[in-house]
Amino acid sequence: MKAKLIVEGCVWKFGDDVNTDIIIPGRYLTITEPYELAKFAFQDLDPDFHKKVNGGDVIVGGKNFGCGSSREQAPLVLKTLGIGAVVAESFARIFFRNAINLGLPVVECPGIADAVKKGETLRITLEEGKIENVSTGKTMRGTVLPGFLIDIIRAGGAVAALNAKIRRAR
């Protein structure tokens, strides 16, 4: 049996309709080095976000997280900063795909925005859509991702999953 995909980390909270320009403003997109670019994550909300965040931390958003542009740099800067997962009331579809393609776990969980405070610790079991608030002891159920998407995350992203498929076909 494969080991379960579990993410545990400290919560950063955001509201509804967090768009890709908020996550990484378009005016920085000519920077192509991910670590350089990640310094500008959430620039217009908190210029020091990249300094404050720790590896494994979890972002909790409201409705429509990641709406706006198709820029994959949005989940890329979050992954580069070490974000372990994004949990939101709902996601915009391009961000959702892009995050999974990069191997960044995303979990849709209605009610999460009210159930979690900044700085609390969440423990997420991806295959079960289970979200435990370690700080309060409360457990919530998010939407379970289809198996083929879990496999992509497990493989470390869509490219790794595709390469495995190409090698099997040869």
Partner 1 sequence: MTITEKILADHSGRKETSPGEIVEARIDVYMVHEFLQQVETVFHNIDMEKPLHPERIVALLDHWAPAPSVDAAEIHKICRELVERYGIQNWYDMREGICHQILPEKGHVVPGEVIVGTDSHTTTYGAFGAFSTGIGTTDMAIVFATGKLWLRVPESLKINVSGELPEWVMSKDVILRILGDVGADGATYKAMEFQGDTIHSMSIDARMTLCNMSIEGGAKNGIIEPDQKTFDFLKGRVRKEYSPVYSDGDAHYADELYYDAGKFEPQVAKPYSPANSVPITEVEGTEIDQAFLGSCTNGRLEDLAVAANILRGRKIPLSVRMIVIPASKEVYSEAMREGLVETFIESGAQVYYPTCGPCIGGHLGLLASEEVCVSSSNRNFLGRMGSGKSKVYLASPATVAASALAGRLTDPREVGRKHS
C-beta of 16 vs 132, nearer to partner 1: 16
Q: Give the rounded distance of the alpha carbon of 4 from its chain centre.
A: 17
- Minimum distance, C-beta of residue 101 to partner 1, in the bound complex (Å): 4
Residue that the structure tokens 């992203």 belong to: 157
- Select 43 or 125, whichever has its Cβ closest to partner 1: 43
Q: At what angle do helices 147-155 and 93-101 cross, to 10 degrees?
A: 50
Rounded to the nearest whole angstrom, what is the least distance from the CB of residue 54 to partner 1 in the complex? 24
Residue among 116, 106, 145, 108 nearest 14 (CA)? 116
DSSP β-ladder status, 85-88 and 106-108: parallel
Q: What 3-state class would DSSP assign to 22? A: helix
**Nearest distance, CB of residue 20 and partner 1, angstroms:** 8
Instruction: Rank residues 12 and 65 by Cβ distance to partner 1 and give the closer one.
Output: 65
Q: Show the tokens assigned to 55.
A: 């590896």
* Nearest distance, CB of residue 44 and partner 1, angstroms: 3
Q: Which residues bind partner 1 (CB under 8 A)?
A: 17, 19, 21-22, 25-27, 29-32, 43-45, 63-64, 67-73, 90, 92-94, 97-98, 101-102, 146, 148, 157-159, 162-163, 166-167
